[in-house]
Structure 1
């Protein structure tokens, strides 16, 4: 039983370490949440059913993170790209989201528009655009027109595809977008025209913001 998991769950739920440890042990023995709540109060310190369910849920999530962490470490190591710094970041990641963000640039992927553009030699053009130093990028793009790239527009589109993938795989950019949505996003709902009667039980949400 991972002691770090015990400490984390006890801190999250503001209960004692031994209560978490005993509850998890009961689950390992096959006990159910109602059984633990009703008949093992002496072992759990009289935790209620909601607290016991929370322990079960959080412990399962931590095990899922551990399993995913092992898979990611193995995959990147097999690629020969697992530096000590990267290994340390993966080992200290606290959530699945954080793990997946770190892993994304190394994740085996199907051929994308960006990979096709790279195969056509358009990555230098993408880097040039990202530096934002050229005033006439079209003239630079002309240098990439060849048998595989038919036009300036195709060269620019390929470069944009590469840049889009870079941004998508950038951990900092993804976190910034998440924070933006958390603080600025607005959720709206409205009824579909002609479906008002069909959805009458949801009328409170017909015009919600």
Structure 2
């Protein structure tokens, strides 16, 4: 099963200041130090145009554009380092999405393709996620996880070492997104486009080999 999930933005990691740990049951409701995060309340009614068509599983560019598939980016989970599921593990191991059905979630804002696909994955796992916070940025999501207020699903490529947070492989369902480089079909005026695409392909292949040798676990 596959989900194509956009990467979101990548500004500087926002430092939350002195960590204020909150119970993972979501009883704390602050987002101190994270102005890009929005606390979720019933009826917020956040609406944003999707970045990809819902359900789109491949990129079909117009004739004037060529898409070069670079990377299959698997999805993973981020949890507070003192989460009960983490404490019970004798060694780092993957988790099923359904194991987090009762957890507060930190998610991409409503209306984005990544959010739609996360909601669909949760529905297929048999639950409706309890959304604690929404954000446009995976770095912010991981920082919020590090404060202990919830868990998050994110792509392997967006994982960053984060105080107070750990990452685990998502073993069921196996989800991933596809990453492309897009160039003009006619590269007469952009002669270096082919070379750049080749370099990106080589880097992506090396990254895939590294991921295969080192599963998500920290």
**Range into which the TM-score falls when normalised by the shorter chain:** under 0.3
Return the TM-score normalized by structure 2.
0.23
Larger Rg: 1
Greater relative contact order, per chain length (Cα 8 Å cut-off, separation 6+): 2
- Which structure has greater strand proportion? 2
Return the TM-score normalized by structure 1.
0.23
